[in-house]
Amino acid sequence: MALDPICNMEFEEEKAVATAVYEGKNYYFCSEACKNEFLRTPWKYESKASSKAEESGHSCCS
Protein backbone atom coordinates (compact mmCIF):
# COMPACT_ATOMS: atom_id res chain seq x y z
CA MET A 1 0.00 0.00 0.00
CA ALA A 2 1.07 3.55 -0.73
CA LEU A 3 0.26 6.60 1.35
CA ASP A 4 -0.22 9.99 -0.27
CA PRO A 5 1.82 12.23 2.08
CA ILE A 6 -0.40 15.25 1.42
CA CYS A 7 -3.92 13.94 2.05
CA ASN A 8 -3.08 10.62 3.80
CA MET A 9 -5.09 8.58 1.29
CA GLU A 10 -4.02 4.93 1.09
CA PHE A 11 -4.10 3.07 -2.22
CA GLU A 12 -2.24 0.44 -4.23
CA GLU A 13 1.02 1.82 -5.66
CA GLU A 14 0.04 0.85 -9.20
CA LYS A 15 -3.10 3.02 -8.89
CA ALA A 16 -1.14 6.20 -8.15
CA VAL A 17 -2.10 9.11 -10.41
CA ALA A 18 1.33 10.69 -9.96
CA THR A 19 4.72 9.87 -8.46
CA ALA A 20 7.85 11.73 -7.42
CA VAL A 21 11.29 10.85 -6.12
CA TYR A 22 12.80 12.90 -3.31
CA GLU A 23 16.16 12.06 -1.74
CA GLY A 24 16.05 8.57 -3.22
CA LYS A 25 12.55 7.70 -1.94
CA ASN A 26 9.50 7.12 -4.09
CA TYR A 27 6.34 9.07 -3.23
CA TYR A 28 2.89 8.24 -4.58
CA PHE A 29 -0.03 10.62 -5.04
CA CYS A 30 -3.76 10.33 -5.60
CA SER A 31 -3.78 13.47 -7.78
CA GLU A 32 -1.54 15.90 -9.63
CA ALA A 33 -2.66 18.55 -7.12
CA CYS A 34 -1.18 16.53 -4.24
CA LYS A 35 2.03 15.97 -6.17
CA ASN A 36 2.34 19.68 -6.93
CA GLU A 37 1.80 20.56 -3.26
CA PHE A 38 4.49 18.05 -2.29
CA LEU A 39 6.97 19.44 -4.83
CA ARG A 40 6.64 22.94 -3.35
CA THR A 41 7.99 21.81 0.04
CA PRO A 42 8.92 18.10 -0.05
CA TRP A 43 10.92 18.19 3.20
CA LYS A 44 7.71 18.89 5.14
CA TYR A 45 6.25 15.53 4.09
CA GLU A 46 9.36 13.35 4.11
CA SER A 47 8.48 11.43 7.29
CA LYS A 48 4.91 10.75 6.14
CA ALA A 49 6.00 8.39 3.38
CA SER A 50 6.93 5.61 5.77
CA SER A 51 4.38 6.11 8.55
CA LYS A 52 0.74 7.10 8.60
CA ALA A 53 0.26 10.53 10.12
CA GLU A 54 -2.80 12.25 11.56
CA GLU A 55 -5.41 13.52 9.16
CA SER A 56 -4.25 16.81 7.71
CA GLY A 57 -7.67 18.23 6.91
CA HIS A 58 -6.63 18.49 3.27
CA SER A 59 -9.48 17.24 1.12
CA CYS A 60 -8.27 17.07 -2.45
CA CYS A 61 -9.94 13.69 -2.94
CA SER A 62 -13.45 14.34 -1.71
Residue 15's pLDDT is what?
A: 97
Predicted confidence (pLDDT) per residue in 20-32, tens digit: 999 999 999 999 9
Given a cut of 50, is residue 55 above it in pLDDT?
Answer: no
pTM of the model: 0.76
- Arithmetic mean of pLDDT, 26-46: 96
Q: What distance in Å separates the CA atoms of residue 52 and residue 41, rounded to the nearest whole number?
A: 19
4 and 32 Cβ atoms separated by less than 8 Å? no
Mean pLDDT computed over every residue of the chain: 85
Given a cut of 60, is residue 41 above it in pLDDT?
Answer: yes
Given a cut of 50, is residue 34 above it in pLDDT?
Answer: yes
